[in-house]
Amino acid sequence: MKVLVSVKDKEEAVEALNGGAHIIDLKNPSEGSLGPCFPWVVEEVIEAVSGEREISLAIGDFTYLPGTASLAAFGASHLNINYVKVGLKTKSFEEAIDLLSKVVKTIKSYNGKIKIVAVGYADYSRVDVVPVDKVPEVASEAGAHVAMIDTAIKDGKSLFHFLSKKEVNNFLVNARRKKLMTALAGSLKFKDLALIKKLKPDVVGFRGLACEKGDRVNGRVKQERVNEIINLLHE
């Protein structure tokens, strides 16, 4: 199980790297669940990581704006990264497939090495978007590589506040049947780690828990917290 830590700048990336994170994920938490970082920040982090870890890049939480998403993916395709994360805030299943298909086409046209992560939201009913259990099918139909659960509204409620263990497990099983990698994130707490270990996603993502005082927006990622998370998951 790989541990992904979301960082917002070079200094946090170094903390996550030294803490043992397997994937350094770039996002701008002030712009939402998958808020994108500025290009110069991305370049600084890529230079700091220097190929020592995989890098993922959030490009946004997208309503049905396939052109906007595709242009963001075009920019990402020119970077030395491993994953592009796409938030599916579309209203319907059909819109989600169309948007994600356009992103996949863009990435494959310019950098076939990058894996595309389709991100659905555990709290989909709060934001009136495509149900999270449809995400594995969307990802498979569109040609993405990873199906991921996150939360859309960051108010401290974890994904397990909205989804039962059975529902999360069904998501993972469905994704695996479609030959997709699996990932879980969404305001996860220390108390959730035992359950995460039982569910065994390929990737588990953190930001708030990796930050001082658990504050994803105003806090800073700290090496010690990242290391604690990894030790608890792998003990």
Residue type, 76: A
**Nearest C-alpha neighbor of 152 from the set 195, 203, 187:** 187
- Residue 217 pLDDT greater than 90, yes or no: no
pLDDT-based confidence at residue 216 (cuts at 50, 70, 90):
confident
C-alpha span between 7 and 166 (Å, rounded): 30
Active site residue 85: yes
Give the DSSP H/E element, type plus range, for residue 33: none
Residue 214 predicted with pLDDT over 90: no
Q: 218 pLDDT band (50/70/90 cuts)?
A: confident
Between 211 and 213, the more confident residue is 211
Residue 102 CA to residue 226 CA, distance in Å, equals: 35
- The secondary structure of residue 128, as a DSSP letter, is T
Q: Which amino acid, one-letter code, is at 205?
A: G
Neighbours of 173 (CB within 10 A): 12
Q: What is the pTM of this model?
A: 0.96
Q: Which residue has the higher pLDDT, 234 or 59?
A: 59
CA–CA gap between residue 193 and residue 3 (Å, rounded): 12
pLDDT reading at 71 higher than 90 = yes
What pLDDT is recorded for position 80?
95
Name the catalytic one among 8, 27, 89, 102.
27
The pLDDT value recorded for residue 187 is 95
Residue 218 maps to which CATH number?
A: 3.20.20.70
Q: Summarize pLDDT for 14-41 with one digit per residue, the tens.
A: 999 999 999 999 999 999 999 999 999 9
Which pLDDT score is estimated for 213? 83
> Taking residues 44-56, what's their average pLDDT?
96
Give mean pLDDT, residues 107-111: 97
Closest CA relative to residue 88, chosen from 37, 23, 133, 154: 133
Question: What pLDDT digit, counting tens, does each position of 183-210 carry?
Answer: 999 999 999 999 999 999 999 999 999 9
- Provide the residue range defining the domain that includes 83: 2-234
**What pLDDT score was predicted for residue 63?**
97
pLDDT in tens, 72-93: 999 999 999 999 999 999 999 9
Any bridge partners for residue 103, and if so which?
A: none
**Choosing from 8, 85, 89, 222, which is the catalytic residue?**
85
Please say if 27 is a catalytic residue. Answer: yes
Domains contained in the chain, number: 1
